[in-house]
Amino acid sequence: MLYLQKKIIMKRICLWSGPRNISTALMYSFAQRNDTRVFDEPLYAHYLAVTGADHPGKDEVLKSMDNDGMSVIRNVILAEYQDEVVFFKQMAHHLIMIDDSFLKDVVNLILIRNPKQIIASFRKVIPEFSIHDIGIKKQFEIYQNLISMNLNPLIIDSGEILKNPERMLTKLCDNLGISFDKKMLSWNAGPKKEDGVWAKYWYENVHKSTGFGIHKQDETEIPENLYSLYNECRQYYEKLYEKSLKL
């Protein structure tokens, strides 16, 4: 007697975030699910290779991953998996000099954060940077591109998640068409097997965490010379926030 293998109906989620957001925490959250496999920034080496950006641990990243973005799309992002949910944590600005038609084959989720907080945090790791390095303009461009493709991306703000993680993640899962799992609310402290080799440069704080942090009102201060950058970023953030899921 022949037995046919049950075909897995896979939910393939691409999270398009900016740096210094809670994207790694959200990746850890999804990793707690029994039905989910997560991937950490699969296009990072492609981004470094095509831009020449000088990031901490650049050589390690280039050696540890496929540098060919189209190969990553074929062999990682659009590969077949036996998991019901596959979650790709992505940086929006990594989607550069590459055919992005694959976006129609994934569920697109855009994670935004108040750019003042992003700028204040990012400058602690990389002192010299531009709007292209922190992703918010690229996130808006991705949003516009998806709308032009008659796709309706989900947008979620990290501040909304931190106000009430369980309620916001429940709403997010509902919109993604998957069930919420309470295990998504906590994880063990320390490095994770899913971390990219760059974790030691970027993930110090999230490695200390065992869940989503406490939401803080915006009291972030940035130097006066970065205010023009902040104001430029803010216009994109506010347009995206208007479309985002709310509590």
Q: Looking at beta carbons, which pairs linking 210-215 to residues 24 or more positions away fall under 8 Å? A: 210/186, 211/165, 211/185, 211/186, 211/187, 212/22, 212/25, 212/29, 212/161, 212/162, 212/165, 212/185, 213/22, 213/25, 213/162, 214/162, 215/159, 215/162, 215/163
- pLDDT band (50, 70, 90) for residue 219: low
With bands split at pLDDT 50, 70 and 90, how would you rate the model's confidence at 215? Answer: low
Lowest mean pLDDT among 73-82, 130-139, 193-202, 211-220: 211-220
- Pair of tokens at residue 228: 């023009």
Is 20 a residue whose pLDDT tops 60?
A: yes
Question: How large is the average pLDDT for residues 110-115?
Answer: 94
CATH level 3 topology of 11-204+218-242: Rossmann fold (3.40.50)
- What separation in angstroms does the CA of 131 have from each of 62, 93, 116, 135, 223? 23, 10, 12, 7, 16
4, pLDDT greater than 70: no
Domain limits, the chain: 11-204+218-242
pLDDT grade for 1, boundaries at 50, 70 and 90: very low
Least confident of 72-76, 150-154, 164-168, 227-231: 227-231
pLDDT at 112 over 70: yes
CB-based contacts of 241, cutoff 8 Å, min separation 6: 112, 155, 157
Q: Please check whether residue 92 is in contact with residue 42, taking contact to mean a CB–CB distance below 8 angstroms.
A: no
Would the pLDDT of 218 be above 60? no
Mean pLDDT value across residues 35-40: 98
**Residue 162 is encoded by which pair of tokens?**
């931190």
Mean pLDDT of 17-29: 93
Q: What mean pLDDT comes out for the span 29-49?
A: 98
